[in-house]
């Protein structure tokens, strides 16, 4: 079955590119002596996680408890959740999951630690906790001078075990805080087993941050138009595309595709909403829910109604989360069809 037999819009994955992306990342980490832990939130597909593990990954990272549960059920038993899990019902689920799996969970505040401790105690088990350190991203994370106090709190609790530090992204800008925190922990006599860095765009900096023991990355498996625009990847590295059809040609300048923000997401980079493989001079300048509005005025060939094209989306991870199924291709022939098992698992 050819890609041209699939209904559009749909998500297609070039398996040769996917294989190349995953082997290259694993080889890079192996070369640096770093453990590699793919972030499965990007793809949400156990079959892809299996390929990543087979290539040499030590475990996976999942962003939420519900997502971790899908992967644990599928046999992925070493899961890092780089996210503060709060609320008694949610920490109870986490503790349940940790009874049968090696779960490591992040924390950045005494209240978060206290919630984890309560859940672990109720389950009469031990939870592995990694402290998240704030970075230039200015999202979550503690400051270096809070780390010793937080680590002591964790280790003082009989049901919690302090394992180390986590940063996102692991860039040269985030290194001074990481070094400071590690020094403070060392001076306090607190052991650190794990220093986890991350980010597809930050992987190239790993040689400059020897403190890291492992790397997390997600986007690298597909790459996307944003990764290309930010020079994290080349066009030929983009493994995920949205197959689409030209459904209207209202003017000589404008073509309309049947993939809108419900297929491509509303993500934009440099003002564009994706790159059309067959029309590199075309420009997707806006999206409706079910339409892509394309400026084709600079194209030498003009697309016609009914013609099929392939769009490299701005963010592959956002696209995956909109679709229930993806189609895995080799040489544009259907080789496999995968359910996006963890789609919508946001809690």
**Interface positions, 28-47, toward a second copy (CB under 8 A):** 41
Instruction: Indicate the residue among 27 and 305 with the shorter CB distance to a second copy.
Output: 305
Query: Are 14 and 241 within 8 A, CB to CB?
Result: yes
For residue 152, the SS3 value is helix
Q: End-to-end CA distance of the chain, in Å?
A: 37
CB 308, min distance to a second copy, A:
8
Contact characters 141-180, a second copy, x per CB under 8 A: xx--------------------------------------
CB 1, min distance to a second copy, A:
13
Contact characters 321-340, a second copy, x per CB under 8 A: xxxx----------------
Cα–Cα distance, 148 to 146 (Å, whole number): 6
Interacting span for a second copy (CB under 8 A) from 1-9, 118-126, 195-203, 221-229:
1-9
Interacting span for a second copy (CB under 8 A) from 23-31, 174-182, 229-237, 284-292:
284-292
189 belongs to the binding site for a second copy (CB under 8 A): no
Question: Which residues have CB under 8 Å from 143's CB, separation 6+?
Answer: 133, 134, 177
**Interface positions, 44-103, toward a second copy (CB under 8 A):** 63-64, 66, 83-87, 89-90
Residue written as token pair 């970075």: 135
Query: Are 55 and 98 within 8 A, CB to CB?
Result: no
Q: Angle formed by the axes of helices 175-187 and 144-156, to 10°?
A: 50
Cα–Cα distance, 150 to 133 (Å, whole number): 11
DSSP string, 87-128: SHHHHHHHHHHHHHSEEEEEE-SHHHHHHHHHHHHHTT--EE
CB 255, min distance to a second copy, A:
10
CB 141, min distance to a second copy, A:
6
Interacting span for a second copy (CB under 8 A) from 28-36, 196-204, 209-217, 254-262:
254-262
Instruction: Indicate the residue among 55 and 131 with the shorter CB distance to a second copy.
Output: 131
Query: Are 82 and 166 within 8 A, CB to CB?
Result: yes
- What φ, ψ does residue 130 adopt, rounded to 5°? -115, 135
Under the rule (CB under 8 A), what is the footprint of a second copy?
Answer: 7-10, 41, 63-64, 66, 83-87, 89-90, 108-109, 111-112, 115, 134, 138-142, 245-250, 254, 256, 258-263, 265-267, 288-291, 293, 304-306, 317-318, 321-324, 344, 346-347
């Amino acid at each position: 079955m050819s890609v041209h037999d699939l209904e559009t819009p749909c998500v297609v994955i070039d398996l040769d590119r996917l294989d190349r992306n995953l082997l290259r990342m694993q080889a890079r980490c192996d070369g640096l002596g770093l453990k590699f832990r793919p972030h499965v939130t990007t793809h949400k597909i156990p079959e892809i996680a299996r390929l990543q593990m087979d290539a040499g990954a030590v475990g996976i990272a999942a962003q939420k408890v519900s997502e971790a549960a899908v992967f644990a059920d599928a046999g992925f038993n070493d899961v890092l959740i780089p996210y503060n899990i709060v609320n008694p019902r949610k920490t109870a689920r986490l503790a349940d999951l940790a009874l049968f799996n090696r779960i490591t969970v992040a924390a950045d505040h005494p209240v978060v630690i206290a919630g984890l401790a309560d859940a672990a105690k109720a389950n009469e088990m031990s939870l592995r906790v990694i402290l998240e350190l704030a970075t230039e991203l200015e999202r979550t994370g503690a400051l270096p001078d809070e780390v010793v106090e937080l680590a002591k709190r964790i280790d003082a609790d009989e049901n919690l075990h302090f394992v180390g530090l986590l940063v996102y992204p692991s860039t040269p800008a985030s290194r001074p805080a990481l070094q400071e925190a590690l020094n403070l922990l060392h001076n306090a006599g607190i052991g650190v087993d794990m220093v986890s860095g991350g980010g597809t765009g930050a992987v190239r900096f790993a040689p400059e941050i020897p403190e890291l023991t492992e790397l997390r990355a997600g986007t690298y498996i597909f790459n996307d138009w944003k990764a290309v625009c930010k020079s994290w990847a080349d066009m030929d590295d983009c493994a995920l595309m949205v197959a689409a059809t030209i459904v209207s040609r209202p003017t000589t300048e404008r073509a309309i595709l049947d993939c809108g923000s419900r297929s491509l997401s509303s993500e934009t980079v440099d003002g564009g909403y994706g790159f059309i493989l067959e029309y590199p001079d075309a420009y997707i300048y806006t999206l409706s829910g079910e339409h892509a509005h394309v400026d084709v005025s600079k194209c030498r060939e003009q697309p016609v109604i009914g013609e099929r094209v392939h769009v490299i989306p701005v963010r592959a991870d956002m696209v995956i989360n909109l679709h229930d199924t993806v189609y895995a291709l080799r040489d544009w022939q259907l080789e496999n069809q995968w359910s996006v098992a963890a789609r919508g698992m946001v809690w």
